[in-house]
Structure 1
Amino acid sequence: MDYIVFDLEWNQCPNGKDKENKHLPFEIIEIGAVKLNENRETSQRFHRVIKPVVYEQMHFRTQEIIRIDKESLNQGVSFPSALRDFLEWCGPDACFCTWGAMDLTELQRNMKFYGQLELLEGPVRFFDVQKLFSISYEDGKSRKSLEYATDYLEIPKGEDFHRALADAFYTSEILKRISVDCMWANFSLDTYQNPKKKSEEIHIVYEKYEKYVSREFRTKEDAMKDREVVSTRCFLCGKSAKKKIRWFSMNTKNHFCLAVCPEHGYLKGKIRMKKTDDGMTYVVKTLKLTDEDEAKMIREKRELLRRKRKVKRHQGK
């Protein structure tokens, strides 16, 4: 087994979001990767510059950050060619590692655009090194920049940031400073290739919480009618946890609830509504052990919502 620590750089529509290709908002222009063996020792590196074909002109912000010249891009290879080289280089038993969760999603979106998505089976389990750094060295909730983490761990900086191979190198060095136990206890799941039917739904139990990824539904309302979606079983003992605060929503994407397990105490529920490229809806639900302070915050959040709705009703009269 090898760890593939990779980074992508991408361009976007230089003429604004309203003129972008909706099937490819971010076009990958560079892939950089570092391969670590099972002992997390560096063994190989990979680098490709990709010639853009959807957004041939660089967005001004991309140009400012990446600092790659037009000539280098014009000499780049096609994305399908770079992708095949990359996956062949990765090998069949690769574990992907990235700084944050976006790179793996955008890689698959670009693959889908070029009809190559079948080359990578999903949903994809991976290691989010940004999250692992936060768990290992901070509060587990913060998400700091790659340069911040590099400086924090006093890793020598020999290359500029925001080039794919350099960022992959720094990410790999940070990964080496995170325990293997922490990595495997806190792996991530990319759901760009989401479950389509009931038999494909996903339940993952971590140390302090459970994650559930549902099948597809036509609408958010259909999803919230599903028994499994709204259930609150304790992930430690499997018993039904009684809802103290039923599912409520502060916006169109997130729903919250508070439940109590007679053996393990408070459980905080969160449902995130996700949209597929085809306009379908699926749910990512987490049930997490929590305490009285956080339970109080959920109660206050629900009460705030009630007051807002009451004001709206009075304004409508």
Structure 2
Amino acid sequence: MNYIVFDLEWNQCPTGKKQENPLLPFEIIQIGAVKLNRNLVEIGRFQENIRPQVYTEFHSRTQEILEMRMEDFVNADVFPRVCRRFLDWCGSKVRYCTWGPLDLLELQRNMRYYGMENTLHFPLRYYDIQKLFSIRCQDSKNRRSLQDAVQLLSLPTKLRFHDALCDSLYTAAVLRTLDMDMVTANYSIDYFRTPANKKEEIHARFADSVKYISRSFSGRGEAMHDRGVTSMKCFLCHTPLKKEFRWFLGSSRNYFCLARCPQHGWLKGKIRIKKTESWPDRVFCIKTIHLISDEEALALIEKRASILEKESLREIRRSEKTADA
């Protein structure tokens, strides 16, 4: 199996979000990639510019970052042909590596816009090098820029940034500094395509957590009434767990839950509800269950109590306003 470390550059509507094409908010204008063998040795490169079809003028921010002119893209090929060449070059037995999750999202969004068949694997597992670098730094919540990571590692910076091939080479250089056992144990799952039915739902196991990706639902209400979404089970011994309290909605619009396994201790559940890419009026759920410490469990209990107290105060104020009216 080879690794495809790739990067995209894209443009957006030059006159702002109100005038953008909602089906293609970001138009890919450059693909760059490095192919590595199983030993992370470079065995190939890919780079092509793409002639814009939707946004034929640069957004000011895009031009500032890329330091390129629209004239540089006049003789380039169009996206469908460049993308097919890129995917053919990649091959089938590969694991994609990107700096963050957006490149795979925008690649597939552009493919869909041009009516291309999505031939990427489903479910699509990949390595998010940005996330993995954060894990290496023992700071899993902080996402650094590629340039910051390169500088922190004191890697050579002879190439310019914000060029698709150059950024791919930098990302590959960061990848080589990571422990590959850690990398393979912390893969990511792409959410552009979601399970079409219950049979396709995704269950992924990691060292100290599990992840469940659901089929789509008509809305939050239907999703949170589904037993598969809201159930809690210890992923180490598979014991169904009684919740310490029901799922509650946090300030981040995510749902949280706490349960305790008699054998393995506290487990924290988190449910994120997102709109599907295929059906904007439908949603899907990403549930993660983590082992946590006594201190983390207490913090979650206190967080819930604080939210309930605020909700109670808001309800009292609403009642007082109604009474005054």
Are the structure 2 counterparts of residues 117 and 300 from structure 1 closer, same or farther at C-alpha, using a change threshold of 3 Å? farther
Give the whole-Å Cα distance in 2 for the aligned partners of 1:233 and 1:33: 41
Give the whole-Å Cα distance in 1 for the aligned partners of 2:257 and 2:183: 29
Amino acid at match of 2:242: K
- Give SS of 2:232's match: coil
- Give SS of 1:199's match: helix
Query: Does 2:33 correspond to 1:29?
Result: no
* Seq. identity, %: 47
Q: Which residue of 2 aligns with 1:124?
A: 124
Q: Match for 1:314 among 310, 313, 316?
A: 316
Q: Which residue of 1 aligns with 2:323?
A: none
Amino acid at match of 2:5: V
Give the whole-Å Cα distance in 1 for the aligned partners of 2:309 and 2:166: 51
Amino acid at match of 2:61: R
Q: Which residue of 2 aligns with 1:276?
A: 276
- Give SS of 2:58's match: coil
Amino acid at match of 2:15: N
Is contact 1:10-1:30 (8 Å) kept? yes
Q: Which residue of 1 aligns with 2:304?
A: 302
Pairwise CA distance, 1:118: 2.6
Q: CA RMSD in A?
A: 1.3
Is contact 1:195-1:213 (8 Å) kept? yes
Amino acid at match of 1:307: E
Of 256-265 and 114-123, more deviation after overlay is shown by 114-123
- Give SS of 1:38's match: coil
Give the whole-Å Cα distance in 2 for the aligned partners of 1:274 and 1:196: 15
Q: TM-score, normalised by structure 2?
A: 0.95
Give the whole-Å Cα distance in 2 for the aligned partners of 1:295 and 1:120: 39
User: Which segments of 5 or more consecutive residues in structure 2 lack a partner in the other structure?
Assistant: 320-325
Give the alignment of 1:126-275 within 5 angstroms: 126-251=126-251, 253-275=253-275
Amino acid at match of 2:307: L
Pairwise CA distance, 1:251: 4.8
Pairwise CA distance, 1:12: 1.1
Q: Which runs of 4+ in 1 moved over 4 A?
A: none
Of 230-239 and 15-24, more deviation after overlay is shown by 15-24
Is contact 2:108-2:118 (8 Å) kept? no
Give the whole-Å Cα distance in 1 for the aligned partners of 2:235 and 2:11: 42
Is contact 1:129-1:171 (8 Å) kept? yes
Amino acid at match of 2:133: F
Pairwise CA distance, 1:253: 3.8
Query: What is the aligned residue count?
Result: 317
Is contact 1:253-1:274 (8 Å) kept? no
Pairwise CA distance, 1:71: 1.0
Is contact 1:3-1:40 (8 Å) kept? yes
Amino acid at match of 2:101: A
User: Which segments of 5 or more consecutive residues in structure 1 lack a partner in the other structure?
Assistant: none
- Give SS of 2:43's match: strand
Q: TM-score, normalised by structure 1?
A: 0.97
Give the whole-Å Cα distance in 2 for the aligned partners of 1:202 and 1:262: 27
